Amino acid sequence: MSAVAEVPVAAVADARKAGDWLLIATAILLCVWVLLPIYLLIVNALSSPGEVTAFPKRFFPSFDFGSLSFFIEFAGVARALWNSVLVASLTMVLAIGFGAPAGYALSRFDFPGKETFRFLVLMTRAFPLPLLALPLAVMFIRTGLDDTAIGLALVHTTLALPFAVLITFSLFSGIPVELEEAAWTLGCTRWQAFRKVILPLALPGIAASAVFAFTISWNEVFAAAVLTIENRTLTAFLLQSLGESPLYLKFAGGAALVVPALIFIFAVRKYLFAMWGIANR
Amino acid sequence: MAEIAIKGVAKRFGGFTALHQVDLTISDQEFMVLLGASGCGKTTLLRIVAGLETPSQGEVWIGGRRVDHLPPRDRGIAMVFQNYAVFPHLTVFENIAFGLRMKKLPQADVERRVTRTAELMHIEQLLKRYSGQLSGGQRQRVAVARALAMEPDVILMDEPLSNLDALLRLEMRAELKGVLAASKTTTIYVTHDQVEAMSLADRIAVMHQGRIVQAASPVEVYRNPAARFVGSFIGNPPMNFIPATKAANGDWTVAGLTLPGPKSDRQRIEFAIRPEDVDAGSEGLHATVRVIEPLGPHTLVTCDVEGGLFRAILDSNAGVQVGDHLRLAPKPDRIRWFDPETTNALLAKVLNRP
C-alpha cells in the first residue's frame, strides 16, 4: 500500500522539480535575450574606440566617455535631440489630453457602442505604419504640416493614444465610483469632485501613461524618417547619418537612444502591468 | 425641519423596472429603514433621494422643496456608503472637513465641527491618520462623522454596517442609534438585515420587487404583516403558512381544526401563525415532529402539518422526541389570514386584534 503510494508521490516531486528547472532556465534565457544586447551596447558606448573592436572584451567598460562626447558634439545631434524632446513632449500632451478624458468616459459612463469603441481603439494599432506613412506624407505636404514638430507629433499621438486610453481607463476603473459620489453629496460639482478626489488619486498613473506616450514617440523611427527632412528627430537622424559612421559612434548613438527609454519604461512599469491586468502588488 | 416625500417614483433601467410607483412619506426626525432582499430596489430608492440616480417618473420632496431635478450637493443631504468611501489621499481630519471646506466655512468653524464630530464618534485620536491605516470599523466611524459634520437635514445610509464583523456591527448599531437620535436628522437607512431594521427603525418600509409592501412600526410589521411576503421575510424562523378551506361563512378548516376567521368569497385562503405563538397541548393542529433543535432558552421544533413544514418554538422543557405526534394550539389573537391570490392580509372578524 505504502509502496504503491510512494511511487506517484516521488514522480510528482520529480516532475515538479523538472518544471521548476524549466521555468528558471526559460527565465534566464529570456533575461539574456533582452539584457545581453543592452549590456554590449552600454559596454561599447563607454569604451574607447580602440577597445570596441578589440578581442577579448573586458567585462567592465573602461568608462571612456570619448565616443559619447564626440557623438554629443557631432553636428546636428543637439538639434535632433531637441526635436525628439519637442515632438515627444507634444505627443505626450496630446495623448493625455485626448486619452485621459476618453479613459474616464469609458470607465464611468455606459453608452451604446462602448465595447466596440474599446476594440476600435486597439485596432488603430493594426494598421502598419508604412502603409499610412506615404499617404500621410502627401497630405502633410499639401497642408504644410510636413517637416514640422507638430505634424510628426500628430502621427505619434495616433500611435500613443490607444495606450493612453487603455491605461487611463484601467486607472479610473480602479478608483471606486463611490468616492466620486461621496464628493458630490459633500458639495462638489462633477468637475470639483474630479479635481479634488479623482485627479489626486489618478495622478501617478496619468504621469506614467504620459511617460509611456513620450517613450513611444522617442523610439518611433519610420514616420519620423518619412515625414521630416530638416527637423529630424534623433532616431531619424541616427538612421540617416550613423550608417556611414565608425562602429564606436554607432554604439554611442544607440546607447543615447535606448537608455532614456529604458529608464522611462522602468519608472512606469507598475502601471503598464496594471493595463495588461497583471497584479504586481 | 426636513420631511421627505416620495411621490409616485418609478425607475426603469432599459427594459427592467427597478421601482414601480413608490409613495412614501418620512416625517421630520424619523428613522426610516428600507428593508428587503437584494435586488428589491431599496438602494435604488435611496440613491434617487440622494440625487445619484434620476427617477424615470415621480417627485422627491425634502423639507417642502421639490429636489428631484437638483444635484446631490443642493439637497441638504449627507450619505454614508456601504464601502465607506473614505478618501484615501486625505487624512481623517481632512475627510471630515471636506464638506465643510466645500461650504467655505472659516477655518475656526471647520476645526470646531471636525473636533466635535470626531469626539462624538470616538475617533479624535485618529485625526492625523490616512484611510489605509484604519480598520474597517474605524473607517465606518470616519464615514459617519463626515456625514454628521455637515449637519444635514437628512442622512442617507446604504447598508453601512454590512462590511463589519458581527460583534462590531452590534456595537456600531447601538452607537448609531444614539448618535442619530441626538443629531435630530431625518434618516433613511437601507439594510437587508431584519434584526438591524427592527432594532434601529421608527418605521420599517418592507420592499419587494420594486414596491413598498408595508411601511409601519417594527412591532406592527412583525405582528400584523400586510402581505404574505412580509410574514415570510421577517422573523427567524419566519411565519408558518397552512392552507385553510371554508367550513362556514367566517369559519375555516385548518389541518383538521375549525377556526373563526375572516369573511371571504374564496373557498381557500391561508392561515398564518408565528412559530412562537403556538402551545403544545391536548388540542390544536396535528403535527409530526421531524427535527428538534435546542437553542438554549427555547427549542425549535420542525414538524409536518398537512404535508407542509411547520416550525414551532417550544419551551426547552417540552420534552418532545422526533416522531412524536403533537397538538399545537395557535394563540387565537395571533392568528393571521392571507388571500392566496392577492397575497394581502385578510382582516378577521373582530376578536383577533390585540
Give tens-digit pLDDT for B276-293: 999 888 888 889 999 999
Neighbours of B294 (CB within 10 A): 10
Give tens-digit pLDDT for B299-350: 999 999 888 899 999 988 777 889 889 899 999 889 999 998 888 888 765 4
Same domain (yes/no): A82, A206: yes
In this complex, which of B78, B88, B103 lies closest to A185 when CB atoms are compared?
B78
Residue-level pLDDT at B351: 47
CA distance B146 to chain A (A): 9
Same domain (yes/no): B331, B312: yes
Same domain (yes/no): B26, B165: yes
CB contact under 8 A, A186 and B150: yes
**Contact (CB, 8 A) for A227 and A155:** yes
* Residues in contact with B141: Cβ distance below 8 Å, sequence separation at least 6, in sequence order: B121, B122, B123, B172
In this complex, which of A176, A183, A185 lies closest to B50 when CB atoms are compared?
A185
Q: Give the number of domains in chain A.
A: 2
CA distance A175 to chain B (A): 10
Q: How far apart are CA B323 and CA B169, in angstroms?
A: 40
Calculate mean pLDDT across residues B29-53: 93
Q: How far apart are CA B31 and CA B176, in angstroms?
A: 11
Residue-level pLDDT at B106: 94
H or E segment at B227? none
Find the closest chain B residue to A203 by CA distance: B89
CA distance B143 to chain A (A): 10
Same domain (yes/no): A12, A140: no
Same domain (yes/no): B165, B50: yes
Same domain (yes/no): B34, B181: yes
Q: What angle do CA A163, A164, A168 make, to 5 degrees?
A: 115
Least confident of A11-15, B18-22, B104-108: A11-15
B89 CB neighbours in chain A (<8 A) are 197, 200-201
**Contact (CB, 8 A) for B277 and B298:** no
A160 in any annotated domain: yes
Same domain (yes/no): B68, B165: yes
Interface test with A, best of B44, B79, B140 (most A CBs within 10 A): B79
B33 in any annotated domain: yes
B114 in any annotated domain: yes
Low-confidence ranges of chain A (pLDDT < 50): 1-2, 4, 278-281
Same domain (yes/no): A157, A31: no
A182 close to B (CB below 8 A): yes
B309 in any annotated domain: yes
CA distance B178 to chain A (A): 23
CA distance A101 to chain B (A): 21
B78 CB neighbours in chain A (<8 A) are 185-186
Domain boundary among B178, B209, B229: B229
CB contact under 8 A, A186 and B51: no
**Percentage with pLDDT > 90 across chain B:** 65
CA distance A205 to chain B (A): 14
Calculate mean pLDDT across residues B266-280: 91
Q: How far apart are CA A197 and CA A194, in angstroms?
A: 6
CA atoms within a 13 Å half-sphere pointing along the CA-CB vector of A37: 8
Mean pLDDT, chain B, whole residue set? 90
Same domain (yes/no): A102, A238: yes
Q: How far apart are CA B348 and CA B303, in angstroms?
A: 26
How far from each other are the two terminal CA atoms of chain A, in whole angstroms? 45
A25 in any annotated domain: yes
Same domain (yes/no): A85, A201: yes
* Cα-Cα-Cα-Cα dihedral sign, residues B40, B56, A182, B76: negative
B94 pLDDT more than 60: yes
Interface test with B, best of A110, A175, A185 (most B CBs within 10 A): A185
Same domain (yes/no): A40, A88: no
B246 in any annotated domain: yes
B51 pLDDT more than 70: yes
Find the closest chain B residue to A202 by CA distance: B89
In this complex, which of B79, B83, B103 lies closest to A185 when CB atoms are compared?
B79
Same domain (yes/no): B38, B169: yes
Q: How far apart are CA A153 and CA A92, in angstroms?
A: 9
Domain boundary among B204, B229, B254: B229
A58 in any annotated domain: no
B351 in any annotated domain: no
Residue-level pLDDT at A280: 38
A55 in any annotated domain: no
Measured CB to CB, residues of chain B less than 8 Å from chain A are 50-52, 71-73, 77-79, 81-83, 85, 87-89, 98-99, 102-103, 146, 150, 156
Name residue A264's amino acid.
Answer: F
Q: What is the domain extent for residue B68?
A: 4-229
Residue-level pLDDT at A111: 87
Find the closest chain B residue to A199 by CA distance: B89
Same domain (yes/no): A262, A133: yes
Same domain (yes/no): B95, B195: yes
Same domain (yes/no): A8, A79: no
Same domain (yes/no): A207, A150: yes
Same domain (yes/no): B221, B245: no
Helix (H, G, I), strand (E, B) or coil at A54: coil
B189 pLDDT more than 80: yes
Find the closest chain A residue to B148 by CA distance: A186
Same domain (yes/no): B250, B141: no
Residue-level pLDDT at A140: 87
Helix (H, G, I), strand (E, B) or coil at B91: strand
Q: How far apart are CA B95 and CA B180, in angstroms?
A: 20
Same domain (yes/no): B225, B242: no
Helix (H, G, I), strand (E, B) or coil at B351: coil
List the CATH number of the domain containing B98. Answer: 3.40.50.300
Same domain (yes/no): B291, B196: no
Q: How far apart are CA A102 and CA A221, in angstroms?
A: 27
Helix (H, G, I), strand (E, B) or coil at A233: coil
Same domain (yes/no): A234, A120: yes
Look at the block and give the residue holding cell 514640422. A148
Domain boundary among B190, B212, B229: B229
Q: Is the peptide bond before A37 cis (omega within 30 degrees of 0)?
A: no
**Contact (CB, 8 A) for B7 and B23:** yes
A201 CB neighbours in chain B (<8 A) are 88-89
Q: What are phi and psi of B55, to 5 degrees?
A: -70, 145
CA distance A117 to chain B (A): 21
Same domain (yes/no): B176, B262: no
Q: What is the domain extent for residue A211?
A: 69-275
Give tens-digit pLDDT for B211-250: 999 999 999 999 999 999 999 999 989 999 999 998 888 8
A40 close to B (CB below 8 A): no
- DSSP-derived secondary structure for B103-140: TT--HHHHHHHHHHHHHHTT-GGGTT-BGGGS-HHHHH
Look at the block and give the residue holding cell 545581453. A36
Q: Give the number of domains in chain B.
A: 2
Residue-level pLDDT at B42: 93
CA atoms within a 13 Å half-sphere pointing along the CA-CB vector of A235: 22
Report the C-alpha dihedral over residues A14, A20, A26, A29, rounded to 10 degrees.
-100
Give tens-digit pLDDT for A99-143: 999 999 999 988 888 888 888 887 877 778 778 778 888 888 898
Same domain (yes/no): A38, A160: no
A188 close to B (CB below 8 A): yes
Calculate mean pLDDT across residues B150-162: 92
Interface test with A, best of B43, B47, B87 (most A CBs within 10 A): B87
List the CATH number of the domain containing A152. Answer: 1.10.3720.10
Residue B69 CA, chain-centre distance (Å), reads 28
Same domain (yes/no): A10, A139: no
A52 in any annotated domain: no
- Indicate the pLDDT class of residue B130, thresholds 50, 70 and 90: very high
A54 in any annotated domain: no
B181 in any annotated domain: yes
B354 in any annotated domain: no
How far from each other are the two terminal CA atoms of chain B, in whole angstroms? 34
B113 CB neighbours in chain A (<8 A) are none
B353 in any annotated domain: no
